[in-house]
A = this chain, B = another copy of it.
Amino acid sequence: MTDVKPMRADARRNYERLLEEAQRAFAEHGVEASLEEIARRAGVGIGTLYRHFPTREALLETLLRARFDAQAERARELLTHPEPLAALHTWLAGLGDATGTFRGLVELTADALNDESSRLYESCHAMRAVGSQLVERAKEAGELRADVTAHELLLLLHAASWAGGHLPGEGGMQRLLALVFEGLRAS
């Protein structure tokens, strides 16, 4: 059904160069990096960029989807980890790192979870579904407070990630996550 005919060679070339430069630009300047600059560095007209990626979000989504899918996969693996709470913590920590790759990304992903029409929603949502299982497992094992929802946990992670990004040194997110996490142990 979704079999698209292959791109023309030049189109594919441009597409890939654009992704490369976008990765560089977002990593360096955050998600607000100039699209015109990306096009320029890719040696391509701005119109070409918009042809391949009609919005900034579409560009980001393409860059991030693989990463998000990997997180979902990782969650699936961790479902068999012997210590449910530790597994959850590990997963969230990894996820926090992932959403910290570009400055300003947390805002986007947090918003994406509330906007079903967003391009990012789908990949985020899939990931969240598996994450929820990790949460439930930790609760059932009696290691996590029963009154915390997966949604809240994810939000707290995003919050920690955000705060970590507004801290001078490195590892701020991990410290905050650990802090919050300790308090969520079942007593």
A residues apposed to B, CB below 8 Å:
107, 110-111, 114, 148, 152, 155-156, 158-160, 162-163, 166-168, 175-176, 179-180, 182-185, 187
Contacts and interface: CB of A to CB of B under 8 A. Distances in A.
Q: Decide if the interface of chain A is mainly helix, strand, loop or mixed.
A: helix
Contacts of A180: 156, 180, 183
A179 B156 contact: yes
Nearest to A162: B162
Central interface residue in A110, A162, A175, A184, by most chain B CB within 10 Å: A162
Nearest to A109: B166
Contact of A158 (B107, B156, B163, B183): B163
Central interface residue in A107, A114, A159, by most chain B CB within 10 Å: A159
